[in-house]
Amino acid sequence: MEALFSRLSNDFVLICVYLVLALSLNLINGYAGLFSLGHAGFWAVGAYCGSAFIIYSHQAGPGIPGALLFCGGITAAMGGAALVGLIVGLPSLRLQGDYLAIASLGFSLIVVNILNNLAVVGGASSFPFGGLVWPDGALYDLKARVAHNLTHIVLGVLAVGTCTLVIRNIRHSSHGRAILSLREDEVASAMCGVNVVKYKLLVFVLGAAFAGLAGVLYATYTTRIAPEAFNFMESVKILLMVVLGGLGSLSGTFIAVIVLYEVPELLRMSHVTIAGSPVADWWVMLYALVLVMLMILRPQGLLGSKELFECAGIRRLFGMAGRGGREA
Amino acid sequence: MTLLSLLLDGLALGCIYALIALGYTMVYGIIKLINFAHGEFYMIGAYAAFIFLAVVRTTGLAEPYDTAMLLLCAMLVAGAAAGVLAVIVERLAYRPLRRASRIAALLTALGVSLFLQNAALKVFSQNTEAFRKPPLVVDRRYPTFEINATDVRPGAVFDTEVFWRDDVGSEQFLSPAGFAISEEEFRWAAEHGARRFYRYPRVTVRRKQIIIWTSVALIAVGLHFLVRHTRIGKAMRAVSYDFETAGLMGINVDRVISFTFFIGALLAGAGAALVGMYYGTIKPTMGIMPGLKAFVAAVIGGIGSIPGALLGGLALGTAESLVQLSPITAPYQDAFAFAILIVILVFLPNGFFGRHEREKV
């Protein structure tokens, strides 16, 4: 029972983390059409800023309550990541398409390289919270573990909810229409009076801040972060989640994140072997194949830029009236 | 390590970057695709060369041959394997996407890269393979050129490979490129090749470095001839100039693109054989970093430009070796290379030799 709970809550929290990451990447990539390959970089910055704030302020004043520390950590993580997002956003003003992708990829590699050599945050080895989260053998205390998991489930739901709401509301505001117009045609939207500089930076800052939020959530949940966890592969994974769900579709992102997270987990549990090695070992190859096939067969992703309830088939299934399709 | 030995090393590394960058730049010049899988073609080339040398060694075929001949054969085998793989990948994954958006093509390239990498992890072991064991570099007939006999560092030198003890006095052995090697490897080399021991090692232009410089120079000349003075070269230039018009002029565009992929991967494979010889080890993930770095080199030179890729590679290799000069900056070698990338992209998006293209609305 305890094992089942810990497995389910683990999956739930990590899915929440990936959801926040994928939703924020969808804002950058799907809505604004800015092709970023370095989302794990923002994630790493958030995780490390948040952890550093929490650990060092705990050292400075051991009496500060945990909730306050965590709020401070969130602020530090989102602030730090947003600042970095602003810096990365600046090249995006001059770069387009695949050039921007390469620049952002370079950025995430720089982040990992620097973190690997930064002694204040533990360098290449992990940066643990240690006694802060698990004081005096609390790691083996069932109640403390359950409380830890439950807290993070609530925090995860809150984070995903906030992220979805903010992005959805932006999408349906005049700002959102401006951002969408950037994706369609930058020059034309500039001619129509859209402030291209402002919106590109806004999208990067906001996306990075949410990635930072995911970072701090991930850090306090796992209580141990290492630069290895934020490598290039993670950026690709997040991107695949967004692309599979459909660039510009929030509900598609939800489906894709859950599928792409749960399938390898279930495969790992299944103990099936192919050609002598566990099936989970083949997953990354399958992953890559899915990406290639998807690009060839359905480059717009499962849902395209529609939301789930805008698809005609789904509407019919639930007996809703009217035609599917996005509003003007 | 001293400035001079670092520069020599950087120049050799730069030559390899240049070889890989050529493939990037040629493919980009023709179909405007950043071929992420290029680093994996390079990795497959290295394994082809490794298998070739292992087979030659175990069957005893190597005995009558010259080492230089063997290396040349290894380069050809590696290049052919990488080239054939590239043609297959182009046919299966990239051709269906020729008219799709560039982002879709880029993601496909990323997927192909991941696929090949993990396939290699499955097929070959995750371990690094010792490239040195095949009889490649143990040939002592040619002397190396010693430049500076006053570079003081305790240890041992012998004339095909240089090893020295870490000067802190720990039992760590470093290969000339600064990579740590095990004591057994050191012993093995000492048993098989060590002839002379010096109290003080010196900066040497090693035979391996000369091999790399001359092969890359020859390849560059050959490529120039191919692109400038042959029919297929003319077709390649035409396709890169205008895809559709070239088709209308009777050029078989698909074949030209396949050929470009083949040549690009051939160069990367040949480079991989040279790297195996130079560093002595290969592994399935070896393609990632050189692939990305070579892309940086292609961007520095101006992506799409062949002389640009060569000079960009040399510049990047040298610059990276200079970063290693100080122990404070040495760990940030990668960050430095990618910072150069971002700076170049922002301030000089066409690189130093790229064509300036005016964007039409």
pLDDT in tens, B37-82: 999 999 999 989 888 887 777 776 666 666 677 888 889 999 999 9
B26 Cα to chain A: minimum distance (Å): 16
Q: Give the closest residue to A1 by CA, choosing from A139, A137, A146.
A: A146
**3-class secondary-structure state, position B181:** strand
What tens digit of pLDDT does each residue of A73-82 get?
Answer: 999 999 999 9
Residue A23 has pLDDT above 70, yes or no: yes
Does residue B44 or residue A284 have the better pLDDT? B44
Inter-chain touch B111–A288, beta carbons under 8 Å:
yes
CA angle A109, A208, A194 (to 5 degrees): 115
State the residue for tokens 């950043």.
B34
A118 Cα to chain B: minimum distance (Å): 10
Q: How many residues does chain A have?
A: 328
What tens digit of pLDDT does each residue of B268-285 get?
Answer: 999 998 888 777 777 888
- Closest partner residue to A288 (CB to CB) among B106, B114, B346 is B114
Residue B21 has pLDDT above 50, yes or no: yes
Q: What is the pLDDT of residue A175?
A: 92
Across A257-261, A319-323, B277-281, B346-350, the highest mean pLDDT is recorded for A257-261
As given in the structure block, the two tokens for residue A121 are 């945050």
Q: Give the closest residue to B218 by CA, choosing from B310, B280, B354.
A: B310
Residues of A in contact with B332 (CB under 8 A): 113-114, 117
Inter-chain touch A236–B335, beta carbons under 8 Å:
no
- Closest partner residue to A97 (CB to CB) among B102, B113, B299 is B102
From B98, which residue of chain A is nearest by alpha-carbon distance? A296
Read off the pLDDT band of A21 (50, 70, 90). Answer: very high
Mean pLDDT of B6-13: 86
Give yes or no for A209 touching B (CB within 8 A).
no
As given in the structure block, the two tokens for residue A81 are 């990541």
Q: Give the closest residue to B129 by CA, choosing from B48, B26, B218.
A: B48
Question: Cα dist. B108→B78, B113, B266 in Å?
Answer: 24, 8, 21
Residue of A92, A96, A113 to mutate, interface with B, max B Cβ within 10 Å: A113
Q: What is the pLDDT of residue B130?
A: 58
Q: What is the pLDDT of residue A286?
A: 82
CA B131 to chain centroid: 15
Taking all residues of chain A, what is their mean pLDDT, rounded to a whole number?
84
Q: Which residues between 160 and 199 in chain A have a beta carbon less than 8 angstroms from any beta carbon of chain B? A: 187
* A311 φ/ψ angles, rounded to the nearest 5 degrees: -80, 135
From A34, which residue of chain B is nearest by alpha-carbon distance? B103
Mean pLDDT of A15-36: 93
CA B30 to chain centroid: 21
Inter-chain touch A98–B108, beta carbons under 8 Å:
no
Does residue B42 or residue B3 have the better pLDDT? B42
Read off the pLDDT band of B191 (50, 70, 90). Answer: low
Does residue B71 or residue A165 have the better pLDDT? A165
Q: What is the pLDDT of residue B152?
A: 28
Residue B183 has pLDDT above 80, yes or no: no
- Closest partner residue to A288 (CB to CB) among B118, B296, B361 is B118
Q: Give the closest residue to A239 by CA, choosing from A214, A256, A255.
A: A256
What tens digit of pLDDT does each residue of A76-103 get?
Answer: 999 999 999 998 888 877 777 778 888 8
Read off the pLDDT band of B350 (50, 70, 90). Answer: confident
Q: Give the closest residue to B345 by CA, choosing from A40, A101, A34.
A: A101
Mean pLDDT of B332-336: 90
A-B C-beta contacts closer than 8 Å: 111
Residues of A in contact with B335 (CB under 8 A): 109-110, 113-114
A62 Cα to chain B: minimum distance (Å): 34
- Closest partner residue to B332 (CB to CB) among A35, A113, A292 is A113
**3-class secondary-structure state, position B352:** coil
What tens digit of pLDDT does each residue of B221-253 get?
Answer: 999 999 999 999 999 999 988 888 999 999 999
Inter-chain touch A295–B105, beta carbons under 8 Å:
yes
Which residues have CB under 8 Å from B88's CB, separation 6+? none
Read off the pLDDT band of B189 (50, 70, 90). Answer: low
Q: Which residues between 98 and 157 in chain A have a beta carbon less than 8 angstroms from any beta carbon of chain B? A: 98-99, 101-103, 105-107, 109-110, 113-114, 116-117
* Rounded-to-integer distance, Cα A38 and Cα A28, Å: 11
- Flag whether the ipTM exceeds 0.90: no
- Closest partner residue to A110 (CB to CB) among B105, B338, B346 is B338
Residues of B in contact with A95 (CB under 8 A): 345-346, 349
Mean pLDDT of A128-154: 70
Inter-chain touch A110–B335, beta carbons under 8 Å:
yes
| β A277-278/B173-174 pair status | unpaired
Does residue B270 or residue B140 have the better pLDDT? B270
Residue B133 has pLDDT above 50, yes or no: no
A108 Cα to chain B: minimum distance (Å): 9
Inter-chain touch A109–B106, beta carbons under 8 Å:
no
Please compute Rg for chain B using Cα positions: 21
Q: What is the pLDDT of residue A308?
A: 74
Taking all residues of chain B, what is their mean pLDDT, rounded to a whole number?
77
Query: Under an 8 Å CB criterion, which residues of B touch A?
Result: 34, 93, 96-97, 100-108, 110-115, 118-119, 122, 288, 292, 295-296, 299, 331-332, 334-335, 338-339, 341-342, 345-346, 349, 361
- Closest partner residue to B96 (CB to CB) among A110, A290, A296 is A296
Mean pLDDT of B301-317: 91
Residue A167 has pLDDT above 90, yes or no: yes
Mean pLDDT of B305-329: 88
Q: Are B343 and B295 in contact (CB under 8 A)?
A: no
DSSP letter assigned to residue B174: E
From A88, which residue of chain B is nearest by alpha-carbon distance? B342
From A107, which residue of chain B is nearest by alpha-carbon distance? B338
DSSP letter assigned to residue A223: S
Read off the pLDDT band of B182 (50, 70, 90). Answer: low
